Structure 1
Amino acid sequence: MNRFAPASIVPVVVSALAFCAAGQVRAEDWPRFRGPTGQGVSTEKNLPLRWSATENVAWKTAVPPLGWSSPIVIKDRVFLTTAAGSGESCRIICIDARTGQVVWDKEVLRQALRRKEGRNSYATCTPVSDGTMVYAVFAEGTIVAVDFDGNVAWINRDVRYYSQHGLAVSPILWEDLLIMQYDASAEEGDLRVGWQIPWDRSFVLAVDKRTGRERWRAMRGRSRIGHITPNIMTVGGKPQLISAAGDVIQGFEPASGRLLWTVANPGEGVVPSIVIGDGLIFTASGFGAPAIRATRPAEGDTPAQVVWEVKQQVPMMSSFIYSDGRLFTIKETGIAMCLDARTGKIIWTERIGGTHSASPILAEGRIYFLSEEGESVIIEAADQFRVVATNTIGERCRASYAVSGGRLFIRSEKNLYCIGK
């Protein structure tokens, strides 16, 4: 089969931010996993503080299960992915952000069902948009680009991904590149290597966002499984692609894929995404060698180094919030923590309850957590722990929030909620 399938395979008829510089993304859009910067930070004002499954709900729209990708919002459109049926039918859904009406729901490709961890889905990777196109990745590692009418522009099938736990990394955009990392594991029947990855199965891939053709592929070397969405960081006036696997953090030149530096980051099956602040890179591994770490990237002749690590209340799933020199975390068991981002000193630890897979967001000095039970706990992003509000929709939630137009978008197992008026 041609690795770049033509658009005719689909039966129905498409800033200043580094990763979408050539697109038409607005400041209020939420174009990728964890928002414009990939850090869960929103500049929106007057977001809702109170709601329920029926109160302060602008609309609720049923979405076919199952997918744990988070929604993205561009202009007046919400996009999300799902793997319908038993998971073979890979679909992108477009919803009117104003009314909740489904604009289109299209199968963009079909995939073989392979092994995954029970909490994962066959559509967990959150799509990304440059304001003109939507780019999505599904469980086999296939990348597809569609326009805003759902027309397929290209499909890249170069990667045949396998992991014992499925795929959970989300793609990012930088200039004219779509960047995706694949930290896989041994195929069933292959040499059993546990979570250690053969050198040729862990790599970072960049494709031309206009054509889907590979521009570079950076082999990681021996590593361990990871599900970490990368990010872009400016170091010494130059961009670095910060990418981590199960036991390494690496900096790459995003234009070429040239490896700039590597630092050990012991762990296995790492999920929390890269967060950046105070010139540091924050990572966590809740499996294998649990630790929250702050790493300073290499610059000039100064090598990269781990600045501090904390081994208490390490999150396995949820990513951090960085705000004004503070790092906020949530463990899957519902324990929240605030640390000094420069030193790693723990400022407070509090139990907010629930089981947590989704990553929190920050807006107007408040942090919004979302539990798997559908309960949202809102706290002040401050040195003193204070709960602002607690709300629930009473449905299972593993996807993270999206924010746009003064509203919150919450994906549950079967519905997409728009919170706010």
Structure 2
Amino acid sequence: MTRLSQNMTTKPTLLLALALAATASLQAADYSQWGGGNTRNMVSDEKGLPIDFDPGKKYGPKAAPKIAGRLRPDAQAANKGPGAEDIDLSTTKNCLWVAKLGSQTYGTPVIANGQVYVGTNNESPRNDKHAGDRGIVMVFDEYTGQFKWQLVSPKMGTGKVNDWEYLGICASPTIVGDKAYVPGNRCQIICMDVKGMSNGNQGMQDESTFMAPLDKDGKLTAPIAPGDTDADILWVYDMYKELGVFQHNATAGFPLVVDGKLFAPTCNGVDWTHTNIPAPNSPSFIMLNAEDGTLLGEQDHVSSERVLHCSWSSPNYLELGGKKQVIFAAGDGWVYSMAPETKKDAEDLDILVEHWRYDANPPEYRKNSAGEPIKYVEYDGPSEIIATPTVADGLIYVPIGQDPEHGEGVGCLSCIDPKMTGDITGKAVWTFKGIERSISTPAVKDGLVYAADYTGRLFCLDAKTGKEYWKFDTKGHIWASPLVADGKVWIGNEEGELFILAEGKELKELKTIEFPSPLLSSVVAANGAVYVTTHTHLYCFKEGAKAPEAK
């Protein structure tokens, strides 16, 4: 029996909703991937960022006017339904532009070569030919907010346990040169031309079939011919079809591209019962050729065999002592270090060489005092890892956590020494159990760790010892990750509140700004601007920006 047929012996059903938050960090200038670089550390070199800004007010039912002689970016009136730009720019402050997204947005934006990319859903369609529930990546002009093109991906058709309704695409692309790599909503890794169709149709020539949805009987509908505002897809790697992966609820995890190789989680997980693993023989993590999308290697299926829920974390990369390490935090609650090279196993599969692994769950979260396993979703039970591990000053920082639908629970933040000592088990420098479940990626700067938990608290810890300097309660659940930029720490919460705190060992709140929708994605700083993404809108704020007068 093949691995694929083994994995198909259990049928799927429905389950809980997922949501991922993103995070942002970068160096000055562009922010071309999640975390700004391969270490995924949420620290920016940007200076002169505004903190006195206002998202403005929405228009009423009347038509939106032209702005400075031009229509709003999508050229629709505000009373014409989905897709209309509905923010009155004259009521904003230090706002360069604002763009309408879908109704649920979990992808933190990336900015590269004059374009802004963000994953969302299709509840505000940019094109009438793409109607209904879809995964979307929207692309805007960095300087004007003008909509340029979009990736449109219909639903899988296998039910919400695989592709939860209205989640859309839960990540944004990783931009390398003229290519954009993103996990679609259908358990696929998709490579696109960053210019869209403006320079012709390159690579794959079957976008029309890719964009065609399934009918109620699961049959493919008529192809939809691509237009000027559709994505130019170069290649697609389908993990569901090629590897027999059983995606749980959504595809997520920002791809990592190093030396022409792409690394990504497969999002292999449990079924609707939360106890059965339909595809234990499929990998949770893979390596592809970034040029053509061919499979180069995969992780041994150990993390799939013991996955608690799903693997949604994004990988990162470091080199120590001449050793290359790809770090992957898996759905079994373990952190794995692997080389970007493979060896054959007994089944002739190309398996990524493992350096070490580390259990990020304290033993008392796995088993009680009687030695009995604690159930997964219990408040005091074990968690997977959804946050991205952060590499800083030769150490790795990673918290454990669960799908926010599971609620609050015990957590742990580990500081791991990635040096290879010949022992396959990684070593923790320290652990901090004062934090609860978290899906937020930590930021590390000047010997301090800034980490948030789902409960709604932001912590400042000593990066070498784990000593707590302060904690700040936002009084709202946190999905996003903290950004450290311009001497400040930026974090938003589910209540739509953006908190700006002073960087350093002393707690000082500088500003709180209220937005009309949840802030589940992280703040991004790039090229002197601050990007704030709500569930429904993407804002670009810049010091001294003046809203064009409406007329």
Structure-1-length-normalised TM-score: 0.86
Give 1:342's aligned residue: 464
Name the one with the larger strand percent: 1
Is the 8 Å Cα contact of residues 125 and 171 (structure 1) preserved in structure 2?
no
Q: Which secondary structure does the structure 1 equivalent of 2:266 belong to?
A: strand
User: What amino acid maps onto 1:261 in structure 2?
Assistant: W
1:400 is the counterpart of 2:515: no
Give 2:169's aligned residue: 123
Give 1:167's aligned residue: 251
Going from structure 1 to structure 2, the CA distance change for 1:163 and 1:120 (only over 3 Å counts) comes to farther
Going from structure 1 to structure 2, the CA distance change for 1:195 and 1:121 (only over 3 Å counts) comes to farther
1:35 is the counterpart of 2:36: yes
Going from structure 1 to structure 2, the CA distance change for 1:350 and 1:415 (only over 3 Å counts) comes to closer
Q: Distance in 2 between matches of 1:351 and 1:173?
A: 36
Deviation at 1:232, TM superposition (A): 0.4
Q: Which secondary structure does the structure 2 equivalent of 1:91 belong to?
A: strand
Give 1:61's aligned residue: 99
Deviation at 1:286, TM superposition (A): 3.3
Deviation at 1:202, TM superposition (A): 4.2
What does residue range 122-271 of structure 1 map to in structure 2 within 5 Å? 122-150=168-196, 151-159=232-240, 161-188=245-272, 194=275, 199-221=280-302, 222-224=305-307, 225-245=310-330, 246-256=332-342, 257-266=352-361, 267-271=382-386
Is the 8 Å Cα contact of residues 164 and 250 (structure 2) preserved in structure 1?
no
1:314 is the counterpart of 2:352: no
Pick aligned residue for 2:53 from 51, 55, 58: 51
Deviation at 1:320, TM superposition (A): 0.8
Going from structure 1 to structure 2, the CA distance change for 1:139 and 1:415 (only over 3 Å counts) comes to same
Going from structure 1 to structure 2, the CA distance change for 1:109 and 1:254 (only over 3 Å counts) comes to farther
Is the 8 Å Cα contact of residues 183 and 202 (structure 1) preserved in structure 2?
no
Is the 8 Å Cα contact of residues 183 and 252 (structure 2) preserved in structure 1?
no
Is the 8 Å Cα contact of residues 291 and 310 (structure 1) preserved in structure 2?
yes
- Consecutive aligned runs of 4 or more in structure 1 exceeding 4 Å deviation: 85-88, 116-120, 195-198
Is the 8 Å Cα contact of residues 236 and 299 (structure 1) preserved in structure 2?
no
Give 1:3's aligned residue: none
Q: Which secondary structure does the structure 2 equivalent of 1:258 belong to?
A: strand
Give 2:111's aligned residue: 73
Deviation at 1:45, TM superposition (A): 1.3
Deviation at 1:139, TM superposition (A): 2.7
User: What amino acid maps onto 2:178 in structure 1?
Assistant: T
1:104 is the counterpart of 2:149: yes
Pick aligned residue for 1:351 from 463, 467, 473: 473
Is the 8 Å Cα contact of residues 187 and 267 (structure 2) preserved in structure 1?
no
Structure-2-length-normalised TM-score: 0.66
Q: Which secondary structure does the structure 2 equivalent of 1:254 belong to?
A: strand
The sequence identity of aligned pairs, in percent, is 21
Q: Distance in 1 between matches of 2:27 and 2:433?
A: 39
Q: Distance in 2 between matches of 1:311 and 1:117?
A: 33
Is the 8 Å Cα contact of residues 135 and 153 (structure 2) preserved in structure 1?
yes
Give 1:292's aligned residue: 413
Deviations 1:357-379 (A, max 9, x none): 11111112211111122221111
Going from structure 1 to structure 2, the CA distance change for 1:56 and 1:105 (only over 3 Å counts) comes to same
1:387 is the counterpart of 2:540: no
Q: Which secondary structure does the structure 2 equivalent of 1:98 belong to?
A: coil
Q: Distance in 1 between matches of 2:165 and 2:312?
A: 13
Going from structure 1 to structure 2, the CA distance change for 1:387 and 1:272 (only over 3 Å counts) comes to same
Is the 8 Å Cα contact of residues 34 and 361 (structure 1) preserved in structure 2?
no
Aligned length: 394
Going from structure 1 to structure 2, the CA distance change for 1:331 and 1:117 (only over 3 Å counts) comes to farther
Deviations 1:195-217 (A, max 9, x none): 87864244211111110111111
Q: Which secondary structure does the structure 1 equivalent of 2:340 belong to?
A: coil
Q: Distance in 2 between matches of 1:87 and 1:291?
A: 40
Is the 8 Å Cα contact of residues 355 and 420 (structure 2) preserved in structure 1?
no
User: What amino acid maps onto 1:208 in structure 2?
Assistant: N
User: What amino acid maps onto 1:358 in structure 2?
Assistant: A
Deviation at 1:119, TM superposition (A): 11
User: What amino acid maps onto 1:251 in structure 2?
Assistant: S
Is the 8 Å Cα contact of residues 334 and 385 (structure 2) preserved in structure 1?
no
User: What amino acid maps onto 1:229 in structure 2?
Assistant: S
Q: Distance in 2 between matches of 1:115 and 1:187?
A: 7
Moved more, 75-84 or 129-138: 75-84
Moved more, 88-97 or 296-305: 296-305
Give 2:427's aligned residue: 305
Is the 8 Å Cα contact of residues 161 and 271 (structure 2) preserved in structure 1?
no
1:328 is the counterpart of 2:445: no
Deviation at 1:28, TM superposition (A): 1.2
User: What amino acid maps onto 1:132 in structure 2?
Assistant: D
Deviation at 1:154, TM superposition (A): 0.8
> Any gaps of 5 or more consecutive residues in structure 1?
1-24
Q: Distance in 1 between matches of 2:240 and 2:468?
A: 41
Q: Distance in 2 between matches of 1:185 and 1:64?
A: 27
Going from structure 1 to structure 2, the CA distance change for 1:419 and 1:33 (only over 3 Å counts) comes to same
Deviation at 1:73, TM superposition (A): 0.5
Going from structure 1 to structure 2, the CA distance change for 1:118 and 1:379 (only over 3 Å counts) comes to farther
Q: Distance in 1 between matches of 2:278 and 2:507?
A: 41
Deviation at 1:129, TM superposition (A): 0.6
Q: Distance in 2 between matches of 1:135 and 1:333?
A: 32
Q: Distance in 2 between matches of 1:199 and 1:236?
A: 34
Is the 8 Å Cα contact of residues 68 and 120 (structure 1) preserved in structure 2?
no
Is the 8 Å Cα contact of residues 240 and 246 (structure 2) preserved in structure 1?
no
